[in-house]
């Protein structure tokens, strides 16, 4: 649909988003930004508010952004956290 796409957590990045392992919350993020490259690769950068390191190592993980009536959601293919900065490779967005 889009050549490239950038989504973020709004002004000042205050909108919280989560990474979940089934019903468990593996991480809560703010200041997040999802990017879709020209080659169709999705990626995530975010600031970690809190994280469960054990659950972040599990699979399958999903990145969830709340929206009216539900969530935008992406499968998380790989994730790293360093100094409260989270980066992840995502699969295609699933509404």
Partner 1 sequence: MGRNRLVYPEEVRLPLSDGDYIDVKKELNAGEYRKLLTDQFKDTDEKVVLDPTKVGITKLLAYLLGWSLCGRNNERIPYHLEQPEEIRRTTIDSLDKDTYRELMAAVNAHEEREEAALEAKKNDRRTVPASSAI
Distances (CA, A) of 11 to 15, 41, 45, 61, 75: 8, 25, 16, 26, 25
Nearest in space to 51 (alpha carbons), one of 85, 93, 74: 85
Length of the chain: 95
Pick one of 4, 5, 10, 24: the residue that binds partner 1 (CB under 8 A). Answer: 24
Question: Residue 2, interface with partner 1 (CB under 8 A)?
Answer: no
Strand partners, 49: none
Task: Name which of residues 25 to 84 contact partner 1 (CB under 8 A).
Answer: 58, 66
| Shortest Å, Cβ 4 to partner 1 | 30
Beta bridge partners of 86: 46, 81
CB of 95 vs partner 1, minimal distance in Å: 16
Q: Which stretch binds partner 1 (CB under 8 A): 15-23, 26-34, 75-83, 87-95?
A: 15-23
Distance CA 71, CA 74 (A): 10
Among positions 1, 23, 39, 83, the unique one binding partner 1 when judged by CB under 8 A: 23
To partner 1, the closest distance from the beta carbon of 60 in angstroms equals 10
Q: Which residues sit at the interface with partner 1, rule CB under 8 A?
A: 21-24, 58, 66
């Amino acid at each position: 649909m889009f050549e490239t796409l950038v989504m973020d957590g709004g002004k000042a990045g205050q909108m919280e988003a989560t990474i979940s392992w089934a019903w468990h919350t593996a991480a809560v993020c703010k200041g997040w930004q999802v990017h879709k490259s020209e080659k169709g690769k999705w990626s995530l950068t975010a600031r970690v508010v809190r994280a469960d390191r054990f659950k972040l190592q599990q699979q399958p993980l999903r990145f969830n952004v709340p929206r009216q009536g539900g969530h935008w959601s992406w499968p998380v293919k790989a994730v790293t956290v360093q100094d409260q900065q989270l980066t992840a490779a995502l699969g295609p967005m699933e509404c």
